Amino acid sequence: MKYMTGFILLLLMQNVFAAHCQVDGGPWVDMKTSPLDVHVDLRLDKDAGKVTMSGYSVRCMHDFPGWYPDSNKQYFSTVASGLILGPTVMDYGSGMDILGALLPWPVSAGRYLALHDRLTPVVDLPVKVYFDIPTAPGKYIKIKPGAFLAVVLLFVTYNFDSPQYPAYRMRINLIARNGVDSSPSTCVINNNLPINIDFGSVDAVAIGTSIFNTPYKKDFRLRYSCDGPSVNSPITVKWQATPSAFHTHAIATSKQDAGVILFRPDSSALVGPGGEIRSTITNSSGSTEVSFALVKKPDTFPDAGPFTASGTLTLMLP
């Protein structure tokens, strides 16, 4: 009798563990097999001369078993040539914000961004890149919403040797959630059209001597609009005109004893020649309510007939 002897070969597949990271509390991503897409808010900081990133969080966790020693650690560190800029920003100077230190690229390898141990399974990973605003005349930085900003490569290592925890590179993709533009914006009042204030038929006897006792007032809304990048800023509107001889806040008209006062109806604040109106522009638009009042020199009766006056409003940004 012949016997057949067989062997069963058992193949044991060993699990390989890797860090898992999430963006803004979203799903966990295996960083050994997949990149992490991070959408960031860009901020144009002209004082610092940089475009910085904010408005997002990256958190990572390890998979250390509970019986691993407390001294076991997982490190995230920079990689040589680990910043690959997107096509629309590759001509700008750049660097990394590592724990508050702004380091121009290339950043040397081996700079730690975060570390885990078994007792702290989840940590924040500060992945921040900045761009320099060009300073040469006629040069600006412009980034559109949705632009691919950069690939950041980080090295994940351990302070122990285990085939289950090999060192590897992880990839983070940075994508612009909003746009920025450092080129000058053009802001205008009422589309740069003349402002015509018509007091209509005026009784010289009825004209008052102040904004409180004259019946001749005209309300007007100054509307502000800007072309170019989105503008969010306080503004100043300068009122320039020839002052009248009888009232410090009135501008002169073609009638010697008549003047026009610009004021804020919400506060009755007078804006004399050379004065300013403070306001704001948000998302490249804004407005201010103003009023014009026709007044006369006390104890006079301005001559009958048409009259004119003129002035200029100039919008100024900081």
CATH of region 20-180: 2.60.40.1090
Residue pLDDT, tens place only, 160-203: 998 888 899 999 999 999 988 887 777 899 998 899 999 999 99
pLDDT value, residue 9 = 40
pLDDT value, residue 318 = 66
Same fold, 20-180 and 186-297+307-316: yes
pLDDT value, residue 3 = 47
The C-alpha atoms of residue 290 and residue 264 are separated, in whole angstroms, by: 5
Nearest to 108 by CA among 118, 98, 99: 98
Percent of the chain with pLDDT over 70: 94
φ/ψ of 192, rounded to 5, equals: 65, 20
pLDDT at 82 over 70: yes
pLDDT at 277 over 80: yes
Count Cβ atoms below 10 Å from residue 55 Cβ, excluding itself: 12
pLDDT at 2 over 70: no
DSSP class per residue in 60-101: EE----TTS-TT-EEEEEEEEEEEEE-TTTTTS-EEEEETTE
pLDDT value, residue 295 = 97
Residues 251-256, mean pLDDT to the nearest whole number = 94
Structure tokens at 117: 């141990």
At 280, is the pLDDT very low, low, confident or very high (cuts 50, 70, 90)? Answer: very high
pLDDT value, residue 8 = 40
pLDDT value, residue 124 = 94
Rg (CA), the chain: 34
φ/ψ of 118, rounded to 5, equals: -65, -25
The C-alpha atoms of residue 61 and residue 56 are separated, in whole angstroms, by: 17
At 304, is the pLDDT very low, low, confident or very high (cuts 50, 70, 90)? Answer: confident
User: What's the longest Cα–Cα distance across the chain?
Assistant: 142
Classify burial at 60, counting beta carbons within 10 Å of its beta carbon; exposed 0-12, middle 13-18, buried 19 or more: buried
At 13, is the pLDDT very low, low, confident or very high (cuts 50, 70, 90)? Answer: very low
At 6, is the pLDDT very low, low, confident or very high (cuts 50, 70, 90)? Answer: very low
Q: Which residue has the higher pLDDT, 308 or 137?
A: 308
Percent of the chain with pLDDT over 90: 65
Distances (CA, A) of 167 to 31, 82, 107, 117, 303: 12, 16, 20, 16, 93
pLDDT value, residue 11 = 38
Residues 41-57, mean pLDDT to the nearest whole number = 90
At 256, is the pLDDT very low, low, confident or very high (cuts 50, 70, 90)? Answer: very high
pLDDT value, residue 184 = 72
pLDDT value, residue 229 = 61
CATH of region 186-297+307-316: 2.60.40.1090
Locate the domains of the chain by residue range. Answer: 20-180, 186-297+307-316
Q: What is the mean pLDDT of the chain?
A: 89
DSSP class per residue in 259-286: EEEEEETTTTEEE-TT-EEEEEEBTTEE
Tallying the residues shown for the chain, one arrives at: 318
Nearest to 236 by CA among 272, 275, 201: 275
The C-alpha atoms of residue 310 and residue 154 are separated, in whole angstroms, by: 65
pLDDT at 84 over 70: yes
φ/ψ of 190, rounded to 5, equals: 50, 45
Give the strand pairing for 50-54 and 129-132.
antiparallel
Q: Residues 199-208: contacts with CB within 8 Å, 24+ apart?
A: 199/294, 202/294, 204/296, 204/301, 204/302, 204/303, 204/304, 205/301, 207/258, 207/294, 207/295, 207/296, 207/302, 208/295, 208/296
Residues 279 and 318 sit within 8 Å (Cβ to Cβ) = no
